Amino acid sequence: HDWRNRDASSFLTHYSPVFLNAAGWGESKRRNIENKDWIKLDLRDISLFMYPGGQMAYTEFVQDYASDRLSSQSRKRLYWQQNDGAWRIVLERAAEPVTPRHANR
C-alpha cells in the first residue's frame, strides 16, 4: 500500500534500520519511489514460513511491478525479524521467476 501510494517514509518503516543503511539502500529506494508519477503492484503465489521460536519469518512471492518508467516481474524473497513487537524486513532478494519448461517428445 505504501509503495503504490509513493509514501516512501511509511514504506521504509517496514525495513530494519540495518538493512536500510547497508550500502545506502534506504535513501536509494526513497529516491526511486519519489521519482515516479505512479506505481502499480501486484503480488501472487505468496508463501509464508515461520522459523522455530516465532521471531523470524520468510516470505516468497511473485511481484508484478509497473510504473511510468519501468515494468517488471520478479520472484521476491523477504526475511523478517520481530523487534520490539513489530515485524521488519532484514533481507530482501529478487530473481526472475522460473518459467515452466515443457518436456520434449
What's the gap between Cα 64 and its chain centre?
11
* Cβ neighbours for 101, distance < 8 A, ≥ 6 positions apart: none
Q: What is the predicted pLDDT for the residue at 97?
A: 60
Per-residue pLDDT of the chain (105 residues; tens, 9 = 90+): 999 999 999 999 999 988 888 878 889 899 999 999 999 999 999 999 999 998 999 999 999 999 999 899 999 999 999 988 899 999 999 887 655 444 444
Q: Which burial class, exposed, middle or buried, applies to 15 when counting CB atoms under 10 A from its CB (0-12, 13-18, 19+)?
A: buried
Distance CA 83, CA 22 (A): 18
Q: What is the predicted pLDDT for the residue at 98?
A: 54
Q: What is the predicted pLDDT for the residue at 100?
A: 46
